[in-house]
Amino acid sequence: DSVRAKLVAEPQNHSRSIVYIGDGASIDAMKDEQRFGAIVDALRADRIAVHSIAIGPANNVELMAVLANQTGGVVGVVGDSENTKPESVGRLVGSSAVMSPVWLDDATLISGMTSVQQDRLPPLRLDRDTILLGTLTKESSDGSLKFSGVTSGSAVSIVADGMMEQSHPDFGFLAGLVKQASDNHGLTLPTAGSAMLRETARVLSAKSEELVKAGNLALQQGNRRGAKAVIEKALEADPNNADAVTLERITGNRLVVQNESDNLDDLFSEGSGDEDPFGGTEADSAPVAEDPLELGDTDTAD
C-alpha cells in the first residue's frame, strides 16, 4: 500500500509500475480471495502495472503471473539458459516496466462470446500477447473484436479480426480452466501471455498425472466411486491423459461390492460419497508439487 501511494502521487501521464524481484514463496496473497480482489482492483483503478523477476529454485510464479495478467505486467523467470540469465531477464522486465499497458475502458467481443474475466478484462500490452478466456455459442462465427482504452499518454482504439478454429488437442485443458476460472470471474488466472498459458497447461498435465495415481490407489482399495470422482478431476485438468481415459473406462464398467460403512467410500473427505471427493476449500485442493507454478481447482479466443 505504501508503494502504491507513492506511485499514485505521480502525474497520470507517467507510467506507473512496480517491479518485484524474489521467489514469492513467503507471499500468501491469494488465500483470502476477497482481500486479494480488493488489492487487484485498487492497482487497476490506479493504473499500476506489476512486473516480476522470479529467482530461486522454488518460485511462486503463479502469483506473479496472476498479478501481471490483472495489471498488464510481465514476468521474467531467471534460469540457466542464455535467454534467462539475470541480466537478460532484468533488461526485458526493465524495458517493459517503462511502457504503459493499454487500460481497457470498453470491449466488444465476437457475437456469442462470453469472457470469464467479465469486468476485469486484462490490460493489453505491445510486448506480449493477451489471453481472453471464455465460451462461444454454437452459432458463433468469425467476427470483429473492438477494444478502447488509454495508456499513460493517449487514448487507444483497437479493432481485430477474430476467426474460429477447429478444436485442437493441445488446448483440451481450456474447458476445465474456463470452468474453474468462472468461479471467481478470472481473478486468479495466471495467463499473462502465451508463455504463462503454456506453463498453466504443463502444470495441469502434471496435476492430472498425480490424480491418476490417486485414482488407481482408490480402485485398488475397492473404492470405485472415489476413483471415478478423482478421474473426472484428472480428465478436467488434462482430457488427453491416456491413463485417465483408460481408468475412466475401468471405473465405469467394473462392478465392486462396497460396504456402506467402509471408510474408503469417500477417500478424500468426511462427507458422503456424492460430495466433491476433494472437500475443503479451493486452496486445499491445489496440487502438492515442486512445479514453479501451482493451480487450485479452477473454447477460448486470443
Q: How far apart are CA 114 and CA 131, in angstroms?
A: 13
Share of residues in the chain with pLDDT > 90 (%)? 53
Higher per-residue pLDDT: 81 or 70: 70
Q: How far apart are CA 270 and CA 256, in angstroms?
A: 21
pLDDT at residue 297 greater than cutoff 90: no
Most confident of 197-206, 245-254, 268-277: 197-206
Number of H helices, E strands in the chain: 8, 8
pLDDT at residue 260 greater than cutoff 70: no
The answer to whether residues 255 and 243 touch, using CB atoms and an 8 Å cutoff, is no
- Indicate the residue type of 12: Q
Q: How far apart are CA 232 and CA 208, in angstroms?
A: 10
Q: Which pTM was predicted?
A: 0.75
Report, as an integer, the average pLDDT of 180-206. Answer: 92
- Tell how far CA 196 is from the center of its chain: 8
Set out the domains of the chain in order of their start, with CATH numbers. 2-97 (3.40.50.410), 103-171 (no CATH), 194-285 (no CATH)
Could you give the residue ranges of the DSSP H alpha helices within the chain? 2-8, 33-45, 61-71, 86-97, 174-181, 194-220, 224-237, 242-253
pLDDT at residue 284 greater than cutoff 60: no
The answer to whether residues 198 and 220 touch, using CB atoms and an 8 Å cutoff, is no
Would you state the cell numbers that stand for residue 258, as one nine-digit string?
462396497
